[in-house]
Amino acid sequence: MDKHATKLIAASLGIATADARLVGAGSDAVGTGLTLPVVVKPAGGGSSNGVFVVADPGRVADAVERARVFGDPVLIEEYVTGREVDVAVFRDRHGALRIGATLEISVAPGDVFGATEKYDGSARFTVPAPIGDADEAGVRSAATRLYDALGCAGVARFDFFVTADGPVLNEVNTTPGMTELSQVPLMYAATGLDYTGLIAELLDAAHPRVQEGERGDERHSGVPNESGSAA
């Protein structure tokens, strides 16, 4: 999901995000006015590919070019100091929002949960996240409001930094990892919904959307429906 567009929608809902600048092709990455260190990443990237933490102003332009390999435009945002806490949301077949337990990601100080940390086993997950009631409520409220505001379908993962001033949205992932040891299944397992049950719930919720899409295709193609008339 486009990270810059997500920030704009979050801001319209009063949800805090890191100060950021969007750098398109041919734009100057120098003089953004942001406080160092900054995080440089492709606005539409995934799996933390092309994400760089930069503390030296002389290296920002180079980081932008390296991030651009993974997609353009590039987002430069201020580094947020806080605990990284995620939560997942999906709408079930009955129309109810199902929220997973919060999950805290622990990485080395000054680092980010990047592509390397995702797969080398150095990051630690704690479920549920040991945060206070106010921050827990803030994360869950922001995630559910964003789920509908962004028009999400299926499961989405909402990534936050919990700071001294409260939760700050990092980004939203609408195609999160779904292995049995990925974050989303771990969040729901902590609520009592195991991996098999989660997949079944997601399939049940998706089935009506797939059927409606097929009916829409038939209406546009003129394929006869079961009554024999053109749909």
Tens-place pLDDT, residues 153-162: 999 999 999 9
The CA-CA-CA angle for residues 24, 44, 118, to 5°, reads 130
For residue 50, give the CATH number of its domain. 3.30.1490.20
Strand pairing report for 52-54 and 83-91: unpaired
Instruction: Say which range, 67-76, 160-169, 186-195, has the weakest mean pLDDT.
Output: 67-76
Of the candidates 80, 64, 74, the one whose C-alpha atom is nearest the C-alpha of residue 16 is 80
Residue 132: domain span: 83-208
CA distances from 49 to 2, 9, 41, 46, 68 (A): 14, 23, 8, 6, 10
The reply to whether 9 falls in a domain is: no
Rg (alpha carbons) of the chain, rounded to whole number: 20
Distance CA 87, CA 57 (A): 33
More confident residue, 130 or 224: 130
Residues 55 and 131 in one domain: no
Residue 21: pLDDT above 50?
A: yes
Distance CA 31, CA 39 (A): 15
Q: pTM for this structure?
A: 0.85
More confident residue, 13 or 217: 13
Q: What does residue 162 show for φ and ψ, rounded to 5 degrees?
A: -95, 110
Residues 105 and 203 in one domain: yes
Residues 64 and 168 in one domain: no
More confident residue, 224 or 190: 190
Sequence length of the chain is 231
Contact call for residues 166 and 16 (beta carbons, < 8 A): yes
Distance CA 192, CA 223 (A): 44
Residues 107 and 27 in one domain: no
Question: Within 10 A of 215 (CB to CB), how many other CB atoms are there?
Answer: 13
Of the candidates 40, 38, 47, the one whose C-alpha atom is nearest the C-alpha of residue 65 is 40
Q: Which two tokens stand for residue 16?
A: 């805090």
Distance CA 209, CA 223 (A): 19
Q: Which residues contact 69 (CB under 8 A, 6 or more apart)?
A: 50
Residues 133 and 164 in one domain: yes
Distance CA 76, CA 3 (A): 11
Contact call for residues 102 and 187 (beta carbons, < 8 A): yes
Distance CA 3, CA 115 (A): 17
In the chain, the percentage of residues whose pLDDT exceeds 90 is: 71
More confident residue, 189 or 123: 189
How many structural domains are present in the chain?
A: 2
In the chain, the percentage of residues whose pLDDT exceeds 70 is: 81
Residues 114 and 154 in one domain: yes
The reply to whether 221 falls in a domain is: no
The reply to whether 33 falls in a domain is: yes
Q: What is the mean pLDDT of residues 102-112?
A: 77
Residue 129, classified by CB atoms within 10 Å of its CB into exposed (0-12), middle (13-18) or buried (19+), is buried
